[in-house]
């Protein structure tokens, strides 16, 4: 039976296909990785594409205008941060100089979005709906985007000049301040108020950002803010868990970042182990491409499992997580098919774009998983 190392070696051609697809199809003029591409054109969706199909966006109010800008950039910070991370891990493993170039372009694109957000307030990281030229007009944020951004920034730190390191520290502290000033509450799509209690994965950002700000400044107020999340963390450890692959991935990345930065709380790793156990069992029961517990369509968002399996390996090697992560990489090999809804008949009639949209984050997560496994190997 082939070893993990041999199976990863067999995936080298697929890794090049995934990476080339992002480099040639999914990076815009500013270095941002597109969130969604139309499978029919392998380009961003156009207004006429959505109109012809009678689509309505499932995640945003299309009547507010610019649905193309929303669709193209909804998860762009996530995709860009994930691709930066994949490139940095690729450099760690291979020493390829172009990997640092790819990571640098992505990181500086994220920093530019941060600057655009400062037109509103320091620490505000908008989803850049409409691309970089319109990012400053976006009112939408999510902790998902913040998590991928700060993970990429911290991974880039070994390559940062003193000036860039100082700049990144400044931006991290400003992010902590923005959310502390609002007691870690923010609007979602300007129609719903998000708190750590009703969107529990928020603590996967709030814990590391407060700890990083404390470590950078030495100011006790950031460490003093951390008990705010104890009740949520304890409830997750004792109760029902969110098992959507993307949500688990956010917990994995955020908590791993906090632990690597020296945050001493054994509950974080314990929760990661419990999340892995329940997600792995669900995947074995429902199939490699099963994503959302209450839905039965196949999805390539499961590449998140591959991206965080090596994190689990660091804390719980006895769980042998790389096997499942590698099986998913072997199962998903064509970037042009990396859609959220893999069975068009299961797509909501008004949200059919979900079956015809290539997700940039899914491809980038495949690459993170591959290169992290190469590191473990």
Q: Please list the rounded mean pLDDT of every run of 10 residues in the chain (377 residues).
A: 95 98 98 97 92 82 82 96 98 97 98 97 97 94 97 98 98 98 90 92 98 98 98 96 98 98 98 98 98 95 98 98 98 97 91 93 98 92
Copy the structure tokens of residue 299: 């999805």
How distant, in Å, are the alpha carbons of 20, 128, 233 from that of 115? 29, 11, 32
How distant, in Å, are the alpha carbons of 42, 104, 223, 310 from that of 252? 31, 24, 21, 10
- Residue 244: φ, ψ to 5°: -70, 135
Sign of CA dihedral 45, 146, 141, 291: positive
Q: Report the DSSP beta bridge partners of residue 186.
A: 194
- Residue 331: φ, ψ to 5°: -80, -25
CB 298 within 8 A of CB 307: no
**In the block, which residue shows the tokens 């997600």?**
279
Copy the structure tokens of residue 140: 């939408």
What element of type H or E holds 254?
Answer: helix 245-260
Q: Which residues, at least 6 apart from 40, have a Cβ–Cβ distance to it below 8 Å?
A: 49, 356
**In the block, which residue shows the tokens 């001493």?**
264
Residue 349 has what pLDDT? 84
Q: Are strands 357-359 and 36-38 parallel, antiparallel or unpaired?
A: antiparallel
- Residue 38: φ, ψ to 5°: -75, 130
How far does Cα 157 stand from its chain's mean position? 19
CB 73 within 8 A of CB 129: yes
Q: If 0-12 CB within 10 Å is exposed, 13-18 middle and 19+ buried, where does residue 158 land?
A: exposed
Total-model pTM: 0.97
Q: Are strands 357-359 and 186-188 parallel, antiparallel or unpaired?
A: unpaired
For the chain, the residue count is 377
Copy the structure tokens of residue 366: 């495949």
């Amino acid at each position: 039976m082939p070893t993990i190392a041999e199976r990863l070696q067999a995936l080298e051609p697929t890794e090049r296909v995934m990476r080339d697809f992002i480099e040639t199809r999914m990076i815009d003029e500013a270095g941002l990785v597109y969130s969604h591409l139309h499978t029919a054109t392998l380009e961003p969706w156009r207004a006429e594409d959505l109109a012809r199909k009678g689509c309505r966006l499932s995640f945003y109010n299309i009547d507010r205008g610019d649905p193309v800008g929303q669709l193209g950039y909804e998860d762009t910070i996530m995709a860009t941060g994930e691709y930066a991370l994949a490139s940095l891990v690729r450099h760690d493993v291979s020493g390829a100089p172009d990997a640092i170039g790819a990571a640098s372009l992505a990181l500086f694109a994220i920093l530019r979005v941060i600057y655009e957000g400062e037109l509103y307030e320091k620490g505000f990281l908008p989803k850049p709906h409409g691309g970089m030229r319109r990012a400053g007009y976006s009112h939408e944020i999510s902790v998902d985007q913040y998590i991928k951004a700060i993970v990429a920034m911290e991974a880039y730190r070994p390559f940062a000049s003193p000036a860039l390191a100082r700049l990144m520290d400044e931006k991290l502290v400003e992010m902590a301040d923005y959310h502390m000033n609002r007691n870690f509450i923010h609007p979602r799509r300007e129609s719903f108020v998000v708190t750590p209690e009703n969107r529990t994965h928020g603590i996967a950002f709030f814990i590391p950002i407060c700890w990083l700000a404390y470590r950078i400044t030495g100011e006790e107020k950031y460490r003093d803010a951390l008990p705010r999340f104890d009740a949520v963390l304890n409830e997750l450890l004792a109760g029902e868990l969110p098992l959507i692959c993307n949500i688990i991935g956010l917990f994995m990345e955020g908590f791993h970042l906090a632990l690597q930065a020296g945050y001493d709380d054994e509950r974080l790793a314990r929760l990661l182990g419990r999340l892995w156990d329940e997600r792995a069992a669900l995947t074995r029961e429902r199939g490699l491409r099963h994503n959302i517990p209450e839905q039965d369509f196949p999805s390539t968002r499961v590449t998140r499992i591959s991206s965080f399996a090596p994190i689990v390996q660091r804390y719980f090697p006895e769980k042998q997580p790389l096997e499942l992560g590698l099986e998913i990489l072997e199962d998903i090999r064509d970037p042009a098919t990396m859609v959220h809804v893999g069975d068009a008949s299961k797509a909501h009639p008004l949200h059919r774009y979900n079956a015809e949209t290539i997700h940039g984050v899914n491809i980038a997560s495949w690459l993170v998983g591959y290169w992290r496994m190469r590191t473990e190997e």
